[in-house]
Structure 1
């Protein structure tokens, strides 16, 4: 059997999202699945050479603390999920990066978290649309949006 991939959008505001995505995949019987956890630095752009650089000159992409913190959080969260996983860093538009990585790995689906609640989340979705909205209109593969706050019975099984 071949290993299938599921791309998971990582959001520091929902640190348990990759773990919840793993629980979803396992509940669907997906033991031969690798989770590809992608976090996207929206303040960065990708040069034609493929190297990502920050638009903020004070941030060095290769060794910034944000990336180290995200990877450390993923390592803690995913330590005992029972599925293989990897971490990938993207730059720029989250929807475009999720689609790009999903294409690269031949992902069976993309899993993301629901948009941010509150006025700021609403304002962002009104100005630029949501990541989910962009993905569902441009994707050939399923896009699963996990709610920010899981039901109580889901928390017990995770």
Structure 2
């Protein structure tokens, strides 16, 4: 693993969008494709509680918090880094963790452009009424990526699909 604050972005990488408590299946699939391509893996966490204020000509991004409690974003990055180390630590694979800020689809697209990514991997949304409402207002990250850039996208289901007779939004 390399330093998450390193300025050099690995080239021709596979990028995986990661969130805290995401099933390890997403990281495992991303690692599998990175190994198939012989490419480094970038585990990217997007802190949606921060937004980009401006970007220096050398590529350094300045951001500001939406909420003054920046500990939330730091805790989320630590959870993603710990999960990545747990899943990827024993693999013969070059990987790093990057903290991005702002809109997930736009941040992942920009990272993909910087790294000339071979593939972007994201998980589906979690099932449930709350997630459906969130997606209604913010849109699907995978769908927004598919419409905004030219790289292939792998969407990994987080859970087994619902059976035809199973309610989409279970009670409780």
1:42 aligns with 2:53: no
Q: CA deviation at 1:53?
A: 2.5
Q: CA deviation at 1:60?
A: 5.2
- Where in structure 2 are there 5+ consecutive unaligned residues? 1-10, 56-60, 162-172
Show CA shifts across 1:84-127 (max 9, x none).
Answer: 11110011100001100000000011100011211112112211
Q: Name the TM-score, length of structure 2 as normaliser.
A: 0.75
Query: Which position in structure 2 is the counterpart of 1:148?
Result: 158
Q: Is the 8 A contact 1:124 1:130 kept in 2?
A: no
- Where in structure 1 are there 5+ consecutive unaligned residues? 152-158
- What number of residue pairs does the alignment pair up? 145
Q: Is the 8 A contact 2:20 2:76 kept in 1?
A: no
RMSD: 2.2
Q: Is the 8 A contact 1:110 1:144 kept in 2?
A: yes
2:69 to 58, 63, 66: 58
1:90 to 72, 86, 100: 100
Structure 1 range deviating more: 117-126 or 93-102:
117-126
